[in-house]
Structures are given as structure tokens and as C-alpha cells.
Amino acid sequence: MINQQIAKIFYQMSEYYAMDEVAFKPQAYEKAARVLESLRKDLTDIYEMGSIKALVEIEGIGQGLAEKIEEFIKTGRIKEYEKLKKACPVDLEHLTVVEGLGPKSIKALYEELNIKTLEDLEKAAQADKISKLPHFGKKSQDNILQGIEYVKSGSGRRSLGNVLFLARHLVEKIKSLKETETVILAGSLRRGKETIGDIDILAVANDPEKVMDYFCSMVEVERVLARGETKSMVRLHNGLETDLRIVPKESFGAAAQYFTGSKDHNIELRKIAEKKGCKLNEYGLFILPGKKIPISNDQFPKKSQNQKIKIKTEEQIAGKTEKEIYEKLGLIYIEPELRENTGEIEASRARRLPNLVELKDILGDLQMHSDWSDGGYSIKEMALEAKRLGRQYIAITDHGGNLQVARALNNKKDIYAQWQEIDKLNKELSGIKILKGIEVDIDDKGEPELPAELLAGFDVVLGSIHLKLRLPKEVQTERLVRAMKNPHIDILAHPTGRKVLTREAMALDMDKVFKTAKETGTVLEINAYPERLDLKDVHVHQALGLGIKLSLGTDAHLLSHLAFMEFGVFQARRGWAEKKDIICTMCFDEIKEFLKQHKK
């Protein structure tokens, strides 16, 4: 699947053109890159089925971009990209990862201080050179140093959204072979972790050698790092290392449990096994020699009960399925997302595990953007795509306030005009309902940047912070507290302001944030956009413990982004959320009444 490779190239071309201040091209390439990242079909397959005409039919891909995709499919390179990269004097790819640094500021740093690399940037900041430049200052320099450290801490990892579709594509390719019986993802991907270090694939096959030959020769593979009969490791063209393990059918469940992890979860399971006189590993659960067990055990069904038999040789008692592994250890099955040794084993033993929310439970999407602000598509187009994905209702929550970069709505005329369009569409469309929403910016004092009389007319109001993210902890916390006390704000959007792998969360007293949310009835959002995934899982768990309701929103700006709901569900499940905890599992009439009561 070459989608990720081309998306990465388009992102970089966008940055090169932005650095040279070329009009229109940066936005076009960035939009195309975001589309390709979330595209579930392989571009190669699309091209083979319909040539360049089929590529042009992809949202955001015009003739010129389609020709570049065609060029990459045929030659493995894009000449224009290579020309731009050669002409650029700086390492834009790595410098733009630092939060707050865009192509224009990187250009200024190069011109003033000859900064070309991440190492140059760090040295200049440590030497207090950046603070003396116009438009930077001491605070910007400190933020740059902090951003560099944050990037380093996540070095080598990718976001869940950057990996999942590709990994599933690889699984489907291997599963299509007649030699394979079962193929699944394992590791942190299966647990829905927000960042991924590599891809782990597990399979049962009747001809392992042929499967390994195919795996090592896939077009996605750049280099074979290790080749064995039951395990091989490759590096993909996007730099991710990918392992394939082939295991016997009788050990598949044990292997799935073992290689899914987490390490801490597995250690606790092994301790439980040891206390029962057993051994647990990737091959199965075994009773050790010398252990006396009741002969009513499934292994000895013909023996009378109330007797014990002494095991003379090591004997496997479970391993074919994960469920039987847990059952033999006296536990009920634990879903992969919970396997972090954060109380799930104790809850399993006590039969108190949550009935986790599922994607099919989500009936509505409570954050998305249309072309009324910074989205790429009309309200009607967003609604129809959401309907196709199984949503029964959506909230159009275009930006409101003074956020100029997002073309925020800030006057009565435009807002009333949008309401009229939504009223019209609700009469015209069947199978999908549209809520009138707004994502209003919260100023540094905690006040929404739209007047109360306007906010009162919306079905749902999301309050969010996009600017001044580095205020002191006490000030930032009070800012959120004041916002939640505003009677018009229903939902706090992406509450901590973090971005996965690139930006730390705001400094907040989360206990005070949760206490205020509970007191005011403010709903906290799990933002499903893969660069955000905010709230993080531990905060989801903490909020649920206080009875705080949560919402899910894709924060979609393109049609393809509406599929991001799955990432939000992963995050909710990792935080132990059930269907009853998420307000967008309500039907349309229920959510309308819930929001109406909230405003009272």
C-alpha cells in the first residue's frame, strides 16, 4: 500500500511550497495528503482498475496530483518532489515536527542563524540565539526546546491513525493466500494504543514457507531484515518494521495473548499461572510435573470427582483460544484494549469488567467542519457521507469566534444563513439529521468569543482552546473552569489541547477540571482525530469514575476524516467506557432532549 508514501511526499511538497510562499499549492498538497492518509483502498489497485481517471475521482485529487501519483506508481519517484528537496537548504521533514515551527519560521531561522537541521535548532536555542530574533523571543525559544524534547521522547513511533489502515491492508493480503487459515494484528495496534512502534502480524498457515516468501516479497517491503521458517522481519517503504509470526493452530490463542501484550499484563498472568502450578508462554498454558489437580478437570472427564491426579509430565491444558487461557486462570476474557495491568485483572477475577462501547453503538458524530469555515466540503456532502458510514445524525460545528486561520464564523448574518441551510437540508434529506452546532474559541479569560444571544440559538456548543496553550497551570485551569461554568457551553472539545507525538497537553489541574465538569454537567469530548485523541485513555477512565459524560467527534474537515470515529472508539475502550457513558450513542430524539435539558 503506497498511500502513506505518497501522502508523506505530498506533505513535504506542501511545506516546500509554503516556505517559498507559493500561492495555493501548499493547501492543495496538504489536503491531498490528508485524504491519502485515510484512504482505505490501495492507490495501486485504484490505478490498475481505472487508470488516471480513477485517481481523479478520489476526493481532493485533481489532474495534476493524479499524474504525480501515476508517476510514483510507475517509477517509484516524483521528479518535482526530488527537485524541491534538492533545492531546499534545510531539513524541513524533521524541523516541521517541532510544535510551533512552520515553513515560514524555519525559513527565517535559516536566513538569520543558518539553521538547517534539528540538531542546529537545538544548539541555537540552548545558546540563547533564537530569543534575540524578531518575532521569536525568549518564550518562543523555550517552547522550541520543549518541543524538541517532546519529539525526542516519541522518536521512532507513529500515530495509530498513521498505521492502522496500512497494517490491516497487509493482513488482508496475507489472509487472501490459500496457505493461510487465520491472520490477525497483534501488539500495540491490536490494543488500540495511540502510538505504534512497529507492526506485529500473527498467522496460522498450512505452508509457512510459501507464506513467508510472499510476505518478504510484498511491494510494500523495502528491505528484508530477517527471514526464518516461522518468523520474518521486514522494513516497509515508510520506515516501519513489520514482523510476521506463524504459529501452530493449537498454540494460536496463547500466541495471540502473548504477542498482543502488554508486557505488564502478561507478567501478571504468568504469576497467576505459577501460583496454580502452571507455566504460561506463547505456546500455551501447561501444568507442570508434580502438580496435583482435580481429576474432574476437562483433561480427565471420565474420572470421578473429588479425586486428584498427579501430573507426571508437562501437559498443555489451554492454548488454542485466548478465552480458554483466561478461563483456566480463573478469569473472564479481557478485551485487548484493557490489557495494561491497570486493574483489569482484578476486575476480571471479580466479574466486574466493563461492557465496552463498540463502533456500531455510535449513532452520531458531534464535531465536524464544513466549507462554511475551514472544512473542505458542503454540509450536505458531510451529512451524506456520515449517513453512508452508519451515522444517524451529525453536528456541524464550524469554528466560531476570532480564529482567523480557520475562517471562523463571527457575525450574526453568516450564522443565521447557515442555520437556514441546515433547516432546509433537514427537510430534504432522509436517514440523517443535522444539529446546529459551533466550536467556539475560548479566550484567555475563559469567555466564549461569541455573544450569549447567538450561542443560545445553537443545538450544541463546543468550547475549545486553540491559542495561548502555554499559560501557567493555575491560569490555564481557571480558564477552562470559567468556560465550563458558562451555561451555553455543552461540550469541552479536545480538553487538554495535546497533539500526539508533536505537542504536549496544556498544563492543567485535571482533578479540578473533572470536578468542575461534574458540577456543571459539562460533557468532555474524546476527539477522534488521530493527531489529537484527546482525552487520553487515563483521563477517560478518571472522568468515568466521577460519572462525567463523554462525547465522540471526528473533528472531520474532509469526507475521508469521518472514518476517524474508529480511533475515538479505541480511545474510549482503552478508558473503560461503556455505551451508557457516551452521549452520541443516544438516538436523535434523545440527544436533542439531553442537550435541551443541559441548556436549562
Q: Tell me: do 178 and 58 sit in the same domain.
A: no
Q: Tell me: do 540 and 431 sit in the same domain.
A: yes
Number of domain units in the chain: 4
User: Is the distance from CB of 401 to CB of 444 less than 8 angstroms?
Assistant: no
Which of residues 87, 122, 153 is at a domain's end?
153
Mean pLDDT of the region 110-128: 90
Q: Tell me: do 465 and 344 sit in the same domain.
A: no
Q: Tell me: do 118 and 232 sit in the same domain.
A: no
Separation CA 113–CA 436 (nearest Å): 49
Residue 164, domain extent: 158-246
Q: Tell me: do 484 and 515 sit in the same domain.
A: yes
**Model confidence pLDDT, tens digit, residues 392-407:** 999 999 999 998 888 8
Q: Evaluate if residue 309 carries a pLDDT over 90.
A: no
Half-sphere exposure of 258 (CA within 13 A, CB side): 18
Residue 483 domain flag: yes
Give the type of residue at 133. Answer: L
Q: Tell me: do 414 and 521 sit in the same domain.
A: yes
Q: Evaluate if residue 600 carries a pLDDT over 70.
A: no
Report the pLDDT value the prediction gives residue 308, as an integer from 0 to 100: 57
Which of residues 106, 128, 153 is at a domain's end?
153
Using pLDDT thresholds of 50, 70 and 90, give the confidence band for residue 205: very high
Q: Tell me: do 382 and 431 sit in the same domain.
A: yes
Report the pLDDT value the prediction gives residue 149, as an integer from 0 to 100: 82
Using pLDDT thresholds of 50, 70 and 90, give the confidence band for residue 293: low
SS3 47: helix
Place of cell 499549492: 25
Q: Tell me: do 238 and 312 sit in the same domain.
A: no
Residue 354 domain flag: no
Which residue intervals of 389-450 are DSSP H helices? 412-428
User: Is the distance from CB of 188 to CB of 159 less than 8 angstroms?
Assistant: no
Q: Tell me: do 149 and 7 sit in the same domain.
A: yes
Report the pLDDT value the prediction gives residue 475, as an integer from 0 to 100: 97
Q: Tell me: do 182 and 142 sit in the same domain.
A: no
Separation CA 557–CA 217 (nearest Å): 37
Angle between helices 3-19 and 160-175 (to 10 degrees): 150
SS3 549: coil
Specify the pTM. 0.85
Considering only residues 275 and 97, tell me which one the structure prediction assigns the higher pLDDT. 275
Q: CA separation (Å) from 191 to 29, 165, 217, 320?
A: 32, 15, 28, 20
Q: Sign of the C-alpha dihedral, residues 135, 139, 143, 146?
A: positive
Q: Tell me: do 336 and 419 sit in the same domain.
A: no
DSSP string for 472-507 = -HHHHHHHHHHHHTSTT--EE-STT--BTTTBPPP-
Length of the chain: 600
Report the pLDDT value the prediction gives residue 310, as an integer from 0 to 100: 59
- CATH number of the domain at 303, please: 3.30.210.10
Mean pLDDT of the region 234-262: 94
Separation CA 253–CA 259 (nearest Å): 10
Backbone phi, psi, residue 543, to 5°: -65, -45
**Model confidence pLDDT, tens digit, residues 40-82:** 788 888 998 888 899 998 888 999 999 999 999 888 889 999 9
Separation CA 261–CA 267 (nearest Å): 9
